[in-house]
Each structure stands twice: as structure tokens, then as C-alpha cells.
């Protein structure tokens, strides 16, 4: 199984540009989430979803939109990129029905906004 | 969620056991202790979790004190590939895995 797949691996944007970070999982997990990680820091939760059609905000949601139209996909949209959004973005999924199941992470998208 | 406290860094000799401590003195009865690690900016990798009993799997052992206010992750025979940042996290069983990652412990395994 591929697990959690994130694309692209690297991206450079100019301030004001928009883009979508893709995340797909093939484990039929109901729960998916997006984190960002800044240099030397832990991960901060941006948005999460407990199933198709359901999304909610995490710790740092401003500047990001999400939607969940299918179980497999959970894209993260930056509508107008800012240099403060330069970071590494991780997508994760888990089996929601098993409340204590661990998160499975993708390998990240490294975004630079100039 | 309960907060955790971990030392920012630790060293361990290759082949020896690495014992990583974590304090979670405000943990509540329905919160699990999870351990993840992150190797060189890859995505975090799940290691082990437990509620109150000690746990062991192919990667590590987790020792939770009887009062559940602290725990220790044990890598029995550390290798150079175990060099990583290790995160200790507590989370409610039905909190949707909305884990909060702190700073973690940077473990350096040395030859």
C-alpha cells in the first residue's frame, strides 16, 4: 500500500499566488488532517476532517481552506500565499472508528513563498 | 489535552539502550500516551502507545508509571538510524487523533 501520498514534494510560490497541496490515502481512513512544521518547531494542526463532507479548524487555520469530497482525498488550499506560510506541510490520516489508532503521515510538501 | 515535558536533547551510544523520559503530570484517566519520531524532516512515524500498562512492540517498549504521570520510551539496542526527534504526546481516546506535538527530544546515537 502507498499509505499517505503528498504532492508536490517541493513548491516555490510568489506572494499572492494560490495553490493546492494534494493529499491522498489508500487505507480507507475516515480521519485526515494537515499540519505545518516550521524550522526547529513541532507540528501545528491546521485543519482536520472526520469524514467526507466534514471539516474543522485546528490550531492555525488562517490563510488555508480545505474540503473533503471523498474519503481518499483532503486537499489544502492557499488562496493568497504569504511569506509567513513558508513551511513544511504534512498530511496525516487515521482510522477514526478506532479512537486511539495512530496517525499515518505523508512525507511532506516543502513550500517556499517569496 | 495534557501537556508533556521532554528533555530537548539526549545522546546514546550505538548498541546501548536509549531511555527517553516524558512527564505528563496532568494526564487524565482517558488519555493515552503516544510516541512518534521524526527522522531528518521526514513525516513523523508512529512508534508505540499505551494507556496504563507497559507495552512492547518490534520497535520499542513503553513504561508508564503507576500514577501515569510519567513514562519512558526504551529503544533496547539503539542504532545510528534511530537518530531522530522523539515526540511524547497524550491524547484522549475519542479526540479524533488531534495530536498536539511539542518540541520533542532530539536523540543523537553516536558510534
Q: What is the pLDDT of residues A40-98, one digit of tens each?
A: 777 888 999 989 999 999 889 999 999 999 999 999 999 999 999 999 999 999 886 66
On chain A, the residues whose CB falls within 8 A of the CB of B51 are 100
Output phi, psi for B82, to 5 deg: -85, -5
**pLDDT at A36 exceeding the cut of 60:** yes
Query: What's the mean pLDDT when you consider all of chain B?
Result: 90
Contact B43 A96 (CB under 8 A): no
The nearest CA of chain A is from the CA of B41 a distance in Å of 8
- Under the banding of pLDDT at 50, 70 and 90, the label for residue B103 is confident
Owner of C-alpha cell 531522530: B84
Burial zone of B46 (CB within 10 Å; 0-12 exposed, 13-18 middle, 19+ buried): middle
Distance separating the N- and C-terminal Cα atoms of chain A: 36
Contact A31 B102 (CB under 8 A): no
Burial zone of B71 (CB within 10 Å; 0-12 exposed, 13-18 middle, 19+ buried): buried
Report the chain B residue with the minimal C-alpha distance to residue A9.
B42
pLDDT recorded at residue B93: 56
Contact A102 B104 (CB under 8 A): no
Contact A90 B95 (CB under 8 A): no
- Judged by average pLDDT, the poorest of A23-27, A38-42, A98-102 is A98-102
pLDDT recorded at residue B59: 94
Q: What is the pLDDT of residues B28-82, one digit of tens each?
A: 888 889 999 999 878 999 999 999 989 999 999 999 999 999 999 999 999 999 9
Amino acid at each position: 500500500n502507498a499509505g499517505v501520498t503528498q504532492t508536490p514534494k517541493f513548491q516555490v510560490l510568489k506572494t499572492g499566488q494560490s495553490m493546492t497541496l494534494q493529499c491522498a490515502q489508500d487505507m480507507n481512513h475516515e480521519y485526515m488532517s494537515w499540519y505545518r512544521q516550521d524550522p526547529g518547531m513541532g507540528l501545528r494542526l491546521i485543519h482536520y476532517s472526520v469524514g467526507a463532507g466534514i471539516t474543522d479548524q485546528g490550531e492555525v487555520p488562517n490563510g488555508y481552506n480545505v474540503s473533503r469530497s471523498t474519503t481518499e482525498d483532503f486537499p489544502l488550499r492557499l488562496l493568497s500565499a504569504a511569506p509567513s506560510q513558508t513551511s513544511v506541510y504534512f498530511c496525516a490520516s487515521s482510522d477514526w472508528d478506532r479512537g486511539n489508532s495512530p496517525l499515518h503521515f505523508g512525507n511532506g510538501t516543502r513550500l517556499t513563498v517569496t | 489535552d495534557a501537556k508533556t515535558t521532554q528533555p530537548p536533547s539526549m545522546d546514546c551510544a550505538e548498541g546501548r539502550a536509549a531511555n527517553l523520559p516524558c512527564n505528563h503530570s496532568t494526564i487524565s484517566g482517558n488519555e493515552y500516551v503516544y510516541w512518534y519520531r521524526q527522522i531528518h524532516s521526514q513525516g513523523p512515524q508512529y512508534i508505540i502507545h499505551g494507556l496504563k500498562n507497559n507495552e512492547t512492540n518490534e520497535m520499542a517498549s513503553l513504561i508508564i508509571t503507576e500514577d501515569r504521570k510519567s513514562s519512558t520510551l526504551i529503544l533496547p539496542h539503539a542504532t545510528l538510524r534511530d537518530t531522530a526527534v522523539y515526540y511524547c504526546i497524550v491524547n484522549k481516546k475519542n479526540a479524533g487523533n488531534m495530536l498536539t506535538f511539542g518540541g520533542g527530544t532530539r536523540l543523537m546515537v553516536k558510534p
